[in-house]
Amino acid sequence: MELNLKAGASATECVRVEDDRCIGFMGEAARVYSTPSMVSDVEYACLRLIQKHLPEEQSSVGMHVSIDHLAPTPLGCEVEIAVTVSAVEGRKVTLDARVSDAAEIVGSGVHVRYVIDVARQARRIAEKRKRLESRV
């Protein structure tokens, strides 16, 4: 499968750090962008970038995520998520990510995704569900 996606392709998205993207375990004064939200936002930014280069019957799934959360971003602030394709090896796509707020870089890392055929993946999931249900 030849992908219409090359190293260097990039996208930038902005996200407001709302309450549902914040930690809550340190009290109201310390409500900041959570690491799980950062990972999710990076993953979805990468998905949307890749999806622009795929036909409708294909998508991509995450294989690996490595994100360093470097600094806090307070509730109500905005972060910019910049993702860039660093390598395309067959159906494996590696992307670099940088997350910044208005003051500094707050996160950086690498995300690896794998391009799949959606119908084939749905069949594989259905088959696995049957195998799992037969074990109950």
* Residues 57, 116: Cα–Cα separation, whole Å: 9
Of the CA atoms within 13 Å of residue 54, those in its CB half-sphere come to 20
Write out the E strands in the chain.
10-16, 58-69, 78-89, 92-100, 105-117
Whether 103 and 66 have beta carbons less than 8 Å apart is answered as no
In DSSP terms, 117 is beta-bridged to: 58
pTM for the complete prediction?
A: 0.92
Residue type, 119: A
* Residues 50, 62: Cα–Cα separation, whole Å: 11
pLDDT tens-digit readout, 26-81:
888 899 999 999 999 999 999 999 999 999 999 999 999 999 999 999 999 999 99
Whether 67 and 42 have beta carbons less than 8 Å apart is answered as yes
Q: Which pLDDT does position 1 carry in this prediction?
A: 59
Q: Which pLDDT does position 72 carry in this prediction?
A: 97
Q: Which residues contact 53 (CB under 8 A, 6 or more apart)?
A: 3, 4, 5, 9
State which CATH number among 3.10.129.10, 3.40.50.2020, 3.30.930.10, 3.40.50.1000 fits the domain covering 10-134.
3.10.129.10
pLDDT tens-digit readout, 1-22:
568 899 999 999 999 999 999 9
Residue type, 41: D
